[in-house]
Structure 1
Amino acid sequence: MLNWTEYLKELLSRIGEIGKLSPDTVGGYQMLSNAGKKTGHLDAKTRELISLAVAVTTRCDGCITVHSAAALKQGASREEIAEALGVAVAMNAGAALVYSARVMDAVAAHEGKSSS
């Protein structure tokens, strides 16, 4: 397995380098990332749990290490994290089923058959 704490340090260092070379890119990302904090509708822990679920569905190791650390810092338990990940798994399976139906529709279209 990956050494997540070292990876986090390395990742943040590289992002810092990108920030020096392209400050507007990193600044724009930070503005997007911080936008949810301003509304106050979800607490920080909930936002981090959502972030972890999305990190899984988008297969982003950087997101996993950043938001794992942040979720723990916001008081998320292992059980809460596991439940959020369960939602991600269910969504991926559901999305795969929906897109499987789309594939069958495309196949029917390419065969010149009506999908209905």
Structure 2
Amino acid sequence: MGNIDQFMEEYRSALRALKEEIPASLGAFNSFYQQVMQEGVLDVKTKELIALAVGVAIHCENCVLLHTRAAQKAGASREEILEAAFVGVVMGGGPAFTFLPVVKRTLDELGK
């Protein structure tokens, strides 16, 4: 998929273009996402670790990239991120296991 910075730029660029085409739908989803992912009973770091584990479990590489980065920004350590990724493997089985290198590669790139 290339490096994380390139992915993020392409992702943001595509979302900006979609915002022009479907502003109501994109706005509605963004509003929902921001509401759910803000600080609540669970802190943002915990929510991002859950999202990462789910991304691994459902085999969503984009989710893994986005939520690994977001978990790190929310204060999660490398060890917490890797442990959350392994929870995703428990829930997603062998195919989810193949996403562990994606998490590691993303962490390595973010650490540069």
TM range (shorter): 0.7 to 0.9
Instruction: Give the alignment of 1:1-80 within 5 angstroms.
Output: 2-37=2-37, 40-80=40-80
Q: Across the two proteins, how many residue pairs are aligned to each other?
A: 94
Moved more, 58-67 or 31-40: 31-40
Tell me by how many angstroms 1:32 deviates.
2.0
Moved more, 52-61 or 76-85: 52-61
Do the aligned partners of 1:49 and 1:84 also contact (CA within 8 Å) in 2?
yes
Tell me by how many angstroms 1:69 deviates.
1.6
CA distance, structure 2, for counterparts of residue 8 and residue 39 of structure 1: 23
Give TM-score, length-normalised by structure 2. 0.74
Deviation per residue, 1:56-108 (Å, 9 max, x gap): 122222222221221111110110011111111001139xxxxxxxxxxxxxx
Q: Where does residue 107 of structure 2 map in the other structure?
A: none
Gaps of 5+ in 1: 95-116
Give TM-score, length-normalised by structure 1. 0.72
Distance 1:40 1:5, change over 3 A: same
Tell me by how many angstroms 1:23 deviates.
0.7
CA distance, structure 2, for counterparts of residue 64 and residue 49 of structure 1: 10
CA distance, structure 1, for counterparts of residue 39 and residue 74 of structure 2: 18
Do the aligned partners of 1:11 and 1:62 also contact (CA within 8 Å) in 2?
no
Higher RCO structure (Cα 8 Å, ≥6 apart)? 2
Percent identity (aligned): 39
CA distance, structure 2, for counterparts of residue 27 and residue 69 of structure 1: 22
Q: Where does residue 105 of structure 2 map in the other structure?
A: none
Do the aligned partners of 1:8 and 1:62 also contact (CA within 8 Å) in 2?
no
Do the aligned partners of 1:5 and 1:65 also contact (CA within 8 Å) in 2?
no
